[in-house]
Structure 1
Amino acid sequence: MSPPAAAQVGALPAVFPAPVLLQLRGDPIALDKTVVLVTPADVAPETIALVREILTGAGVARITRRTSLPKRLDEPHILLGTTALPVVRAALARSGTTVDARPEGYTLISEHLGQGLVTLAGADADGIYHAVQTLRQLVRGGSIASVVVQDHPAMAIRGTIEGFYGAPWTMTDRLKHLDFLASVKANTMVYSPKDDPFARDHWRDPYPAARLADIGTLATRARQDHINFVYAISPGPTVCFSDPADQQTLERKFQALRSVGVHAFYVAFDDIEYKKWNCDRDQAAFGPSGAEAAGTAQAKLLNAVQAHLRAVDPKAPALIMVPTEYYDAKESPYKAALRKYLDPQIVVQWTGTDVVPPSISIGDARAAEKAFGRKTLLWDNFPVNDYATTKGRLLLAPYVRREAGLSGELAGILSNPMNQEVPSRVAVTGVAAFGWNDRDYDAARTWRYAARELAGGDDRTTQALLQFFDTQHLAPTFGSQPWQEQAPVLKAVLDRVRDALAAGDAAAREDALSALRIAADDFARAPDLIRAGVVDPGFVAQSRPWLDAMQLWGRALQLTAAGLEAANRQAPAATGDFAEAQALAAQAAALQTIKGATRFDGPIRIADGVLDRFIADAPGLLRTAAPAFKSGS
C-alpha cells in the first residue's frame, strides 16, 4: 500500500509536549487495512484500547493480536511493552537504540522493517501509555511518521487542582478533564473544590453513599488514564489539632475514600485564620496562638496522618499539604516551624511570590525551598478566574514567564483552572507541556497546538479560536497591573490603522483600511466557525456569552471599518456607520456572564481597552482628512 501523496516526503512531525529527543528516520510508514498488535502480558487493557482507537481512526479495518514478533513482517506491526521484556529489548537493540529507564519514560521507534515496525517501549506502564499518546500525534492521513523518540518528564508531578471558589465542575467535566490530562501526559489531578461541604465546612461528616460513589468513579477513570487522583480535605476552619478525635476523623474519612479506590491524599490549610485557636486544648498543647504555634500544630497533625497512611498503605504517595502562608517565600516564624517539625516526606505546595505571580524564576523556587525545607510543589494560580479582577473574563493567554530550569528546583507543578473546564485546557496544555519539558517549552507553539486540538485539526476553526483567545489574552493579578497584555494581535492591526490614518499618505490609508475590513470580517465570522467546528461542545456552552459578545463586537468593528472607508472618501454614510457601530458596541458591553458559573458575575469583556477604545475613537481619526465631520458640521 502506498502512502497518501501528501505523506510521500518525510517531515519532522510536531509532538506536544516537546519530547526530549525527536529524530526523523525517513519517509512515513503506510498503514495497511490490517495492522498487527504485538502486546505481551504487561500491557494494560486501556493502553491497548487507545492504540485500537488511534488505528481505527486512521482507517485500519482489521487489527490482529500476537504476543511475539514474527521473523518476517509482511504487515505493519506495532509492539508495546516495558523495557524489561526480552522481545522489547531485542527490538530496541535491533534498531540501535538505548533504553530510557527514567520513571514514566519511553522510547518510540517507527521504522521500515518489512512492511513497518513501530516499537513503543516504556520504562513502566505509565511510560507505555505516554508513548501511545505520542503515537496518536504521529499517525496522520493513513501513515505513521518514521521517527525515533526518547522521552521522559522533567517534573514528577504535573497536572491540575480543582481548587477554585464558585461553582464546582460537574462529574462530566471531571471525567472529561481526566481524559484531557492523559492526552497531554499529565499525571495528577487533585480534587479540592472549595464548595464541596464534605471537604471543608462539614469535613467531619461522612460522604453520602452516592457522593462517595462519584468520587470512586473519578478514581477509576483516573487509573485508566494513568492519572494519580488525589483527594484534598480542608479542615483548617474548625480543626482542633491536639484532639485525637479529629485526627481519627481524618483517618476514617481517608479510609472511606480508600474503599472506593482513592490512594493519594492532601490536607489544605489555605485561606484560614491561623493566629487563633479553634479549641482550648490547642492552647494547652501548643501555647498562645500565633503563626509559629500554628506551624507547629499543623506539622504535628500532618505527621500523624502521614504515619497512619504509610502504615495502612506502604505504597501510597506522600501526603501533600498546602500551608497557610502559601503565597511567598519570605522567612517567617510559621515557615520556620514547618521547616523544623514537618515530616520531610510530606509535599508542600506554594503559589510563587504572590497569590497570582506575574513570573516565577529559579531564584524564587530556591528561596521557597530554603523557607520550607524542601522542594515545593508549585500551585500556579493560572488560569483560575475566581477573584475580582477576573470578573467577566476567560483567561486564554499562553502559559509564559515561568523560567526554564524550574524542573530542577520544584517537586512538580499543578495549575488551578477556571470554573469553565474546557476553556481551561488552553492554558493547562501549556502548564502540562512546561512540566514535561520546561527547557524546550515553546509557549506560542503550544498555544496553537491547544487551539488545533479543540478544533479537531481543522485550520479555519483553529484560526478562529486563536482570534478568540486573543480577545481573552489579558492575565490579571490581585493588583491593578496585569501580567499579560490584552489582545496583542488585534492591537497590532488597529495600531497600524491609527498610524496610517495619522500619517496622511493616501495609499497607506487605503491599504490599512482594506486590511481592517478583512480583519473585521474574520473577527465577526470567528464565533460561528467556533460554534460549528470545535470538537467538544462543552467549549461552546461554557464560552457562550463571550462568543455572543465577540460576534456583536465583530459587527461593530465591521461598521467601524465601513465608516472609516466612507470618511476617507468624505462620504456622508460614515455618520450612520459610526452611530450603528457605537450602538452595537454598547449592546455587546452589556452582555453578562452565565449567572453562578463563576464566583463574580459581571459584564463580558472582549479585547477591552483595545477594541472598545478603537471603536470609540474611530469617528475622530479622519477629522482632518474629512472636514465634513469636524465639530459643529
Structure 2
Amino acid sequence: MTTREALPSISSLGMDSPIVQSWCERNGYSYLSGERGDIRISAVKSMDARFAYIDETSTVSDEIYELSIQGEPPLCEVRITFAGERGLRYALNAIGRMIKRGMWQDGTHYDYPRFPVRGIIEGFYGQPWSQEQRLKMLGFIARHNMNSYVYGPKDDIYHRERWQDLYDEEAYARLRNAFTETTALGLDFYYSIAPGLSMRYSSEADFAALIRKVEQIHKLGVTDFCLLLDDIPEELQHQEDKDAYSDLVEAHIRLVNRFYAEIMKWNDSIRLIVCPTQYWGKGDERYISQLGSRIHPSIDLFWTGRNICAPEITLSEAAVFTQSTHRKPLYWDNYPVNDVEMTDEMHIGPYRGRDRHLYRFSRGVIANGMEYAESSKIAYATIADYLWNPEKYDPEASWQGALEEIVGQANFADMLQFADNLRYSCLYLTDSPKLAAELTKFNFAYFYGDREQAIDHLEQFFEQMIEAGSRLSKGMENGDLHAELQRWLHKYAAGCALMQECVRYIRSQNPDELEQIRTKYELYRKDLTYVFADVLMSFMNKVLDQYFTNQ
C-alpha cells in the first residue's frame, strides 16, 4: 500500500474532472490526464433516489455518494456515483482518508451525512483569525465533510460595533476572498451582522442602514445571512421603541420578518438564520416560543441548549424546542470556544455529550471556535466525525485520529500524553484521566501494597510526562500549533516538575523539602493557566497535609 510520504497520482475519466483536479491540487496529489494515474477515477452522476434522498431524516440531499473500488494503487480503479457536487467531493475525501491512514478498502462503500447542516462559526470574542488562518480553516473543514462557514467575529468592528457602516475597501476585499474560497471548496458562506447593541427597532433610518450594509455583502454573491440578536439587553432601551412595541420580542418579530421579506426580494434562494436574544434554556420560554411561532417558517433559529456552554444536548430537549418554536433547532454549539471567562482554558478534547440521535430533531450544528485557529482544529475534527454519523461516533478514537492528523506522527505520542491533561471544558468537567488513575493506584499501593515499588512506579510515570512535555516544548511539526500552546506547555512542565518533587519528598520525608514544595506550589497557583484541573490540586493537598507518611 502507498505510504503517507509518497502519495499516489490520480487521474479522472469522464465528467467532473475539474473538481477532481482541483481536489488533487488542494490535497497534495499529482493529477494526470487520461489513464496514467495510480488511482483511476470515473465519476458517474445518478438521478436514482438513493443518491438524492436520506430516509432516516426524510430529507433531499446532494451529499450522498458511493465508492466502488477494485485493486490497490498503483493499479486501482475507483467508480464514484453521486447526484450532487458535494457527494463527489466527499467521495474524494473518503479516498484521501483511506490513503493517508493506510486503510485502503476494496469493495463498495455507500455513505451520507446524518445532519444536514455541519459547520463552524468564527463567532468568538477576541482577536479574529487572520486571513491566512481563515482560508486554511476553510480547507480543513471542507476535507472533513463540513458544509458551512459562518463569518461573525465579535471583534470585527463592522460586524457589531459599527454595524451601520459599510466595509472599507481592504476589509471588503478580505470578505470577497473568503467568500470566493468558501464557494470554491463547495461550502456555504454565511455572513453575520449583529445590530442589537445600538439599533432602534422603530427607526426607518436604522433599518435602511441594516439593509444597505447587508446588500453590500450580497453584491459579492453571498446569499446566506445571519441576523444576530445575542448578548444584548433583554429589555427595550430606546424610548421610541418602548412607545412602538410592547416588549423586546415584539420588536424582534417585526424586525426579523421585515428583514427577511426585504432580502428575499434580491434572490429567492436566500437563506436566513437568526440568533435570538434568549438563545439558551429549556426551549419553551415565552420569548423563544413567541418568536418561533411568529417569524417565517423558513428561517432557522440558533440555539445553544440548556446552557450557554452546554455539557450535554439531548433529543428530548431538541423535541421541546421544535414543538415550541415550530422548527428544529440549529445548534450554535459553544465548543471549543474559550473566550470571556474561559480564556485560561485550552479546549482540545473530543466532542461529547450530544445525543447520538440528535439529528432526528435538529437542523445541525455550527461550532464556535477559539481565537487559536490551529488548536480549534482538534475539536473540529471530532465534531465533524460526530455530525457525519453520530450513531457510530467514538469520541476517543476520533480524538486520537484528530491529534495524529493535526500534530503529526512524530509528535503524536507526546501530544497524547500532554493533551490528556487539557480535557477540562463544559463537556468534560474533570481532567487528566490517566494521571488521576495513576494517583489512585499509587494511593492504594502506598498504604496496602509495596510502598517502595509504588513510589518508583509513580516517579517513572512523572518522568515520562516531563520528557513528553520537554520534547513538545522544543518544537513540533506543526509550528502554528506549537506557538498557540506555549502557555499551556509551560504550565504543564511546571506542574509535572512539582509532582515529581512531591514523590521525592514522599520517599525522603525531609521536612525542608516539604517547605520548598509549599513555596513552589503557591507560585504555581498564581499562574491561572488551566492544566490538570483538580487532579493535581488534590494530590498536592495530600502531600502538603503530610498524608503520605512512613507511619
- Tell me the TM-score normalized by structure 1: 0.78
Instruction: Check whether the contact 2:408–2:478 (CA below 8 A) recurs between aligned residues.
Output: no
Secondary structure of 1:384 counterpart: coil
In the aligned structure 2, how far is the partner of 1:184 from the partner of 1:141? Answer: 14
- 1:260 positional shift: 2.9
Are positions 1:618 and 2:546 aligned together? no
- 1:104 positional shift: 1.3
* Alignment CA distance shift 1:33-1:216 (3 Å): closer
1:306-325 matches, within 5 Å, as 306-316=260-270, 318-325=271-278
The residue that corresponds to 2:398 in the other structure is: 446
- 1:45-76 CA-partner distances (Å, limit 9, x unpaired): 4x4233356574xxxxx74213xx7xxxx874
The residue that corresponds to 2:361 in the other structure is: 409
The residue that corresponds to 2:424 in the other structure is: 474
In the aligned structure 2, how far is the partner of 1:554 from the partner of 1:335? Answer: 48
1:117-266 matches, within 5 Å, as 117-140=77-100, 144-266=104-226
- 1:405-428 CA-partner distances (Å, limit 9, x unpaired): 100100111112222222222222
Are positions 1:494 and 2:419 aligned together? no
Of 537, 556, 559, the match for 2:501: 559
Are positions 1:304 and 2:263 aligned together? no
Q: Could you tell me which amino acid in structure 1 is paired with residue 257 of structure 2?
A: N
Q: Could you tell me which amino acid in structure 1 is paired with residue 64 of structure 2?
A: G
Secondary structure of 1:610 counterpart: helix
* Alignment CA distance shift 1:110-1:563 (3 Å): farther
Instruction: Check whether the contact 1:191–1:232 (CA below 8 A) recurs between aligned residues.
Output: yes
Are positions 1:49 and 2:49 aligned together? no
Secondary structure of 1:433 counterpart: helix
1:79-118 matches, within 5 Å, as 79-84=41-46, 99=51, 102-112=61-71, 115-118=75-78
In the aligned structure 2, how far is the partner of 1:394 from the partner of 1:532? Answer: 20
Q: Could you tell me which amino acid in structure 2 is paired with residue 297 of structure 1?
A: A
Are positions 1:347 and 2:292 aligned together? no
- 1:350 positional shift: 0.6
Count matched residues.
Answer: 541
- 1:118 positional shift: 1.9
In the aligned structure 2, how far is the partner of 1:140 from the partner of 1:230? Answer: 31
- Tell me the TM-score normalized by structure 2: 0.89
1:468-547 matches, within 5 Å, as 468-476=418-426, 484-503=429-448, 505-506=449-450, 509-531=451-473, 534-547=476-489
Instruction: Check whether the contact 1:31–1:142 (CA below 8 A) recurs between aligned residues.
Output: no
Instruction: Check whether the contact 1:329–1:371 (CA below 8 A) recurs between aligned residues.
Output: no
Q: Aligned Cα RMSD in Å?
A: 2.9
1:362-441 matches, within 5 Å, as 362-388=315-341, 390-441=342-393
Instruction: Check whether the contact 1:154–1:437 (CA below 8 A) recurs between aligned residues.
Output: yes
- 1:183-219 CA-partner distances (Å, limit 9, x unpaired): 2211112111111221112111111110111111111
Instruction: Check whether the contact 1:355–1:381 (CA below 8 A) recurs between aligned residues.
Output: yes
Secondary structure of 1:161 counterpart: strand
Q: Could you tell me which amino acid in structure 1 is paired with residue 92 of structure 2?
A: V
The percentage of counterpart residues that share the same residue type is 24
Secondary structure of 2:129 counterpart: coil
Q: Could you tell me which amino acid in structure 1 is paired with residue 549 of structure 2?
A: R
In the aligned structure 1, how far is the partner of 2:359 from the partner of 2:8? Answer: 42
- 1:500-540 CA-partner distances (Å, limit 9, x unpaired): 1122x32xx33332321222112112233334664432211
Of the structure 1 ranges 445-454 and 300-309, higher mean CA displacement relative to structure 2 is found in 300-309
Instruction: Check whether the contact 1:555–1:581 (CA below 8 A) recurs between aligned residues.
Output: no
Q: Could you tell me which amino acid in structure 2 is paired with residue 217 of structure 1?
A: N
In the aligned structure 1, how far is the partner of 2:83 from the partner of 2:516? Answer: 63
Secondary structure of 2:409 counterpart: coil
In the aligned structure 2, how far is the partner of 1:271 from the partner of 1:33? Answer: 48
Secondary structure of 1:471 counterpart: coil
- 1:229-285 CA-partner distances (Å, limit 9, x unpaired): 2111111122233433333322221221123343311001111124225351x4454
Q: Could you tell me which amino acid in structure 2 is paired with residue 182 of structure 1?
A: A
* Alignment CA distance shift 1:519-1:590 (3 Å): same
Secondary structure of 1:374 counterpart: coil
Larger Rg: 1
Q: Could you tell me which amino acid in structure 1 is paired with residue 535 of structure 2?
A: V
The residue that corresponds to 1:600 in the other structure is: none
In the aligned structure 2, how far is the partner of 1:367 from the partner of 1:616? Answer: 45
Q: Could you tell me which amino acid in structure 1 is paired with residue 332 of structure 2?
A: W
Q: Could you tell me which amino acid in structure 1 is paired with residue 363 of structure 2?
A: A
The residue that corresponds to 2:414 in the other structure is: 464
Of the structure 1 ranges 446-455 and 527-536, higher mean CA displacement relative to structure 2 is found in 527-536
Instruction: Check whether the contact 1:557–1:581 (CA below 8 A) recurs between aligned residues.
Output: no
In the aligned structure 2, how far is the partner of 1:386 from the partner of 1:521? Answer: 33
Secondary structure of 1:312 counterpart: coil
The residue that corresponds to 1:629 in the other structure is: none
Instruction: Check whether the contact 1:175–1:218 (CA below 8 A) recurs between aligned residues.
Output: yes
* Alignment CA distance shift 1:99-1:237 (3 Å): closer
In the aligned structure 2, how far is the partner of 1:454 from the partner of 1:420? Answer: 13
Instruction: Check whether the contact 1:556–1:580 (CA below 8 A) recurs between aligned residues.
Output: no
- 1:79 positional shift: 1.3
In the aligned structure 2, how far is the partner of 1:563 from the partner of 1:386? Answer: 38
Task: Give runs of ≥4 in structure 1 deviating > 6 Å.
Answer: 30-34
Instruction: Check whether the contact 1:44–1:125 (CA below 8 A) recurs between aligned residues.
Output: no
1:9-20 matches, within 5 Å, as none
In the aligned structure 1, how far is the partner of 2:496 from the partner of 2:394? Answer: 30
* Alignment CA distance shift 1:562-1:333 (3 Å): closer
Instruction: Check whether the contact 2:414–2:472 (CA below 8 A) recurs between aligned residues.
Output: yes
- 1:325 positional shift: 1.1
In the aligned structure 2, how far is the partner of 1:408 from the partner of 1:368? Answer: 13
Of the structure 1 ranges 615-624 and 348-357, higher mean CA displacement relative to structure 2 is found in 615-624
* Alignment CA distance shift 1:615-1:249 (3 Å): same
Alignment gaps of 5+ in structure 2:
54-60
Secondary structure of 1:198 counterpart: coil
In the aligned structure 2, how far is the partner of 1:142 from the partner of 1:489? Answer: 29
Instruction: Check whether the contact 1:31–1:143 (CA below 8 A) recurs between aligned residues.
Output: no
Instruction: Check whether the contact 1:467–1:523 (CA below 8 A) recurs between aligned residues.
Output: yes
Of 577, 589, 599, the match for 2:525: 589
Instruction: Check whether the contact 1:167–1:195 (CA below 8 A) recurs between aligned residues.
Output: yes
In the aligned structure 1, how far is the partner of 2:425 from the partner of 2:9? Answer: 47
In the aligned structure 1, how far is the partner of 2:518 from the partner of 2:93? Answer: 48
In the aligned structure 2, how far is the partner of 1:140 from the partner of 1:381? Answer: 30
The residue that corresponds to 2:58 in the other structure is: none
* Alignment CA distance shift 1:170-1:140 (3 Å): closer
Of 227, 234, 246, the match for 1:267: 227
Secondary structure of 1:272 counterpart: coil
- 1:89-124 CA-partner distances (Å, limit 9, x unpaired): 9xxxxxxxx757642122123212993212233331
- 1:340 positional shift: 3.1
Instruction: Check whether the contact 1:83–1:99 (CA below 8 A) recurs between aligned residues.
Output: no
Alignment gaps of 5+ in structure 1:
8-29, 57-61, 90-97, 477-481, 568-573, 592-602, 626-633
Q: Could you tell me which amino acid in structure 2 is paired with residue 468 of structure 1?
A: F
In the aligned structure 2, how far is the partner of 1:430 from the partner of 1:239? Answer: 38
